[in-house]
Amino acid sequence: MSVWYPKNGRVIFHVDINSFYASVEAAYNPSLKGKPLAIAGNPEERRGIIVTSSYEARAKGIKTTMPLWQAKNLCPELIVLPPNFDRYRHASQEIFKLMAEITPLVQPVSIDEGYLDITDCYELGSPLDIAYNLQMRIKNELDLPCSIGIAPNKFLAKMASDMKKPMGITVLRIRDLPKKLWPRQIEEMYGVGEKTADKLRRIGVNKIGDLVEADRFTLRRILGVNGERLQERAKGIDPSPVDPDAIYDFKSIGNSETLREDTTDETVIATLLRRLARKVAVRLERKEVVAQTLQIMIRYHDRRTITRSLTHDEYFFMEDQIFAIANELFDVNWNGEPIRLLGITAQNLIEKEQAVEQLNLFTYQDHLEDEALQKVIDQLSEKYGENPFKKIKQPVNNDRPTTSFQKDFLDDYKS
């Protein structure tokens, strides 16, 4: 079977469970199959917001983040359920266990999607055989539909898995790019958000193929290094490995500032914390990432330095959120002595496009009045949708669920 594998190169899968939350609910309760189904934070209240929906509901015009009253008007027969994160988490663990039976090179990127490097798995059959067998096992054993992209790198595999849903298997080779990838609109490219698409359209980049031909220096001028990286990916170049340990590789963004003179003036301190929060928020936005942990650094007049951090259930990125957390940390940990330097660092970062399941489904509606957060919900929720299931026992609900995809959950499937 090695004839199906490149002598120089890789074979990468991207596995994406279709309409994950809704599919899990239908697998748990088969009477829901084939019906318009939506998951909403407050299904008993008209102010509830749609978190995800089944394909049958989407065919009726139901969309993520749509107000529940509007969804009901469009589809009076819509079945609405509250999220059950324990159920979704358990399903995710079982999915990744099946992937790990094929290869140890499995990299989860969200609760319902992950990469596999099957380059050295030729004894299991051709890539198409392996993909089909995995798809059937997920369907038959967990009653969940999935789409699989097969490509020589992660970016192309991700793009391929989106090309046919539900239950699709798509191969995307370098030679296929002119016909399969480049004619697509630029906003369909993974890693291109609304703001980036707007900037690219201003320089005449309307399709992915236009990005391939765009001037490299112009891309760098308007998008920084990300412009060059996007162009490389559009050309089919992505050397990033499938890294099972990537879940532990948490980046950080921080700023610190030394005061002109040591101070205990709370107004001066609060002003500095606000300024630092603003700088960190700007950098998070520029890099299109969100954070889960915030750390502050306090350096006293005698150069003694302490760091304290707080990890939240929800991801955050806005200035007001960062300032509030930093202020709370400072109030609890400042000993009242004169301060020489303050620093704020956002940690446990993840790209917005990969933070699909990170919002706390049980509390996010409290923030919907904030237009900035609403916009991010739109971005992060674009692929929400997503049983246990025939052979999975119902997990015990010991505590109220928090976020759906935290780092302490990513490698549970290895247990």
pLDDT per residue rounded down to tens, the chain (415 residues): 567 788 889 999 999 999 999 999 999 999 999 999 999 876 665 557 888 899 999 999 999 878 888 999 999 999 999 888 889 989 999 999 999 999 999 999 888 999 999 999 989 999 999 999 999 999 999 999 999 999 999 999 999 999 999 999 999 999 999 999 999 999 999 989 888 999 999 999 999 999 999 999 999 999 988 899 999 999 999 999 999 987 665 568 999 998 889 999 999 999 999 999 999 999 888 877 888 899 999 999 888 999 999 888 678 899 999 999 999 999 999 999 999 999 999 988 887 765 544 444 444 444 444 544 545 555 554 434 333 333 433 443 333 333 333 444 556 677 6
Specify if 357 maps to a domain.
no
Token digits of residue 220: 């760098």
Specify if 151 maps to a domain.
no
Same domain? For 260 and 337 the reply is yes
Same domain? For 256 and 338 the reply is yes
Residue 85 to residues 22, 26, 161, 357: CA-CA distances in angstroms?
A: 12, 14, 24, 10
Same domain? For 75 and 24 the reply is yes
Question: Is 187 a residue of the active site?
Answer: no
Task: Give the pLDDT score at 375.
Answer: 53
Last residue of a domain, one of 305, 331, 348: 348
- 3-class DSSP state for residue 155? helix
Residue found under tokens 């009045």: 369
In angstroms, the CA 377 to CA 370 distance is 11
Specify if 365 maps to a domain.
no
Specify if 390 maps to a domain.
yes
- 3-class DSSP state for residue 149? strand
Token digits of residue 134: 């995995």
CATH number (domain holding residue 320): 3.30.1490.100
Specify if 80 maps to a domain.
yes
**Strand partners of residue 256:** 343
Same domain? For 211 and 267 the reply is no
In angstroms, the CA 97 to CA 108 distance is 11
Specify if 108 maps to a domain.
no
Same domain? For 255 and 230 the reply is no
CATH number (domain holding residue 67): 3.40.1170.60
Same domain? For 326 and 399 the reply is no
Token digits of residue 304: 């003694």
Exposed, middle or buried: residue 249 (CB in 10 Å: 0-12, 13-18, 19+)?
Answer: exposed
Same domain? For 274 and 332 the reply is yes
| DSSP-assigned letter for residue 7 | S
Task: Give the pLDDT score at 117.
Answer: 97
Q: What share of the chain is helix, strand, coil (3-state, %, to 5)?
A: 40, 20, 35
Among 113, 288, 319, 353, the active-site one is 113
Last residue of a domain, one of 348, 371, 397: 348
Specify if 287 maps to a domain.
yes
Same domain? For 261 and 202 the reply is no
Residue 391: which domain range?
Answer: 20-85+383-414
CATH number (domain holding residue 195): 1.10.150.20
221-226: long-range contacts at Cβ-Cβ below 8 A with a sequence spacing of 24 or more? 223/196, 223/199, 224/286, 226/196
**Number of folded domains that form the chain:** 3
| CB count in 10 Å sphere of residue 192 | 24
Same domain? For 280 and 343 the reply is yes
Q: Is 16 annotated as a binding residue?
A: yes
Q: Do residues 190 and 208 lie in contact, with contact meaning Cβ atoms separated by under 8 Å?
A: no
Same domain? For 258 and 340 the reply is yes
Specify if 244 maps to a domain.
no
